[in-house]
């Protein structure tokens, strides 16, 4: 394994993937063996802490998305704010269960800028991280429309009480493409409520989103929601 990992450190796109394939097979064979998997995870983390090329680190992150545990979070967390490493780190963290990954993402949210920050917002939404609802609500008012729209979309994925309340407020103030994203996310909150049995609350949102000043696609989706929810008036 040590020899294979040295090859991973120098691997670049377009070169032979023989060493990478061997490591992938070793991970498959170790499936179900926690001790062996933990050893491989530790070995892979050594690549992330080295001067390995970007291609090698991306490969490692993809493997950690499969076998990664809390032990991988610190190394991946350090990569979250980097332009070249954020995407690969998020790919792994998005799939590692547990609160440690959430905390790493939340910690990086306040430090990251540009595309990495937008990516972190997206990942928090995909993980349905309730702890992120407050910070994301604040970002909906950001001057960067791409970031604000991403925050709204993430809140729609989380769809907890804090997220729904924030989206309800933003629905009346947001403008442009951010408003469309806010309204779509608010619809998702209604859908989540309906599925969880909160039919009356869901219907209230659907009704609000059928007002004449709402975009046609939103009004149409809200009408479908009312019909699908089956809630009494």
pLDDT at 191 over 50: yes
Examine the domain organization and report whether 123 and 163 are in the same domain: no
pLDDT at 232 over 50: no
Domain containing residue 169:
159-233
Q: Which residue has the tokens 């933003």?
A: 170
Examine the domain organization and report whether 110 and 9 are in the same domain: yes
Report, in angstroms and rounded to the nearest whole number, the Rg of the chain calculated over CA atoms.
21
Q: Which of 136, 159, 161 lies closest to 147, judged by CA?
A: 136
Examine the domain organization and report whether 9 and 108 are in the same domain: yes
Examine the domain organization and report whether 174 and 92 are in the same domain: no
Q: Specify the 3-state DSSP secondary structure of 160.
A: coil
Residue 145 lies in a domain: no
Residue 146 lies in a domain: no
pLDDT at 231 over 70: no
The band of 233, judged by pLDDT with boundaries at 50, 70 and 90, is: very low
Q: What is the pLDDT of residues 39-68, one digit of tens each?
A: 999 999 999 999 999 999 999 999 999 999
What is the rounded CA–CA span in Å between residue 216 and residue 213?
A: 9
pTM for the whole thing?
0.92
pLDDT at 180 over 50: yes
Residue 90 lies in a domain: yes
Residue 114 lies in a domain: yes
pLDDT, average across residues 161-176: 95
Examine the domain organization and report whether 112 and 8 are in the same domain: yes
Residue 136 lies in a domain: no
Q: Which of 178, 179, 165, 169 lies closest to 213, judged by CA?
A: 179
pLDDT at position 197: 92
pLDDT at position 213: 87
The band of 229, judged by pLDDT with boundaries at 50, 70 and 90, is: confident
Residue 139 lies in a domain: no
| Total number of domains constituting the chain | 2
């Amino acid at each position: 394994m040590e020899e294979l990992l040295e090859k991973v450190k120098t691997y670049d796109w377009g070169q032979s993937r023989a060493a990478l394939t061997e490591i992938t097979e070793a991970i498959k064979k170790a499936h179900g063996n926690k001790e062996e998997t933990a050893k491989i995870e530790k070995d892979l983390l050594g690549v992330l802490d080295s001067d390995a090329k970007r291609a090698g680190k991306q490969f490692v992150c993809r493997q950690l998305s499969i076998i990664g545990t809390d032990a991988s979070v610190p190394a991946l967390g350090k990569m979250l704010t980097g332009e070249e490493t954020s995407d690969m780190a998020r790919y792994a963290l998005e799939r590692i269960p547990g609160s440690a990954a959430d905390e790493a993402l939340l910690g990086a949210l306040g430090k990251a800028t540009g595309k990495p920050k937008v990516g972190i917002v997206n990942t928090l939404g995909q993980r349905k991280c309730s702890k992120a609802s407050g910070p994301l609500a604040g970002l909906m008012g950001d001057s960067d429309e791409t970031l604000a729209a991403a925050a709204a979309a993430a809140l729609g994925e989380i769809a907890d009480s804090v997220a729904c309340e924030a989206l309800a407020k933003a629905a009346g103030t947001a403008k442009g493409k951010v408003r469309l994203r806010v309204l779509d996310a608010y619809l998702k909150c209604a859908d989540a409520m309906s599925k969880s049995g909160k039919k009356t609350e869901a219907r209230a949102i659907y009704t609000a989103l059928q007002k004449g000043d709402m975009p046609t696609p939103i009004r149409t989706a809200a009408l479908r929601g009312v019909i699908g929810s089956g809630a009494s008036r």
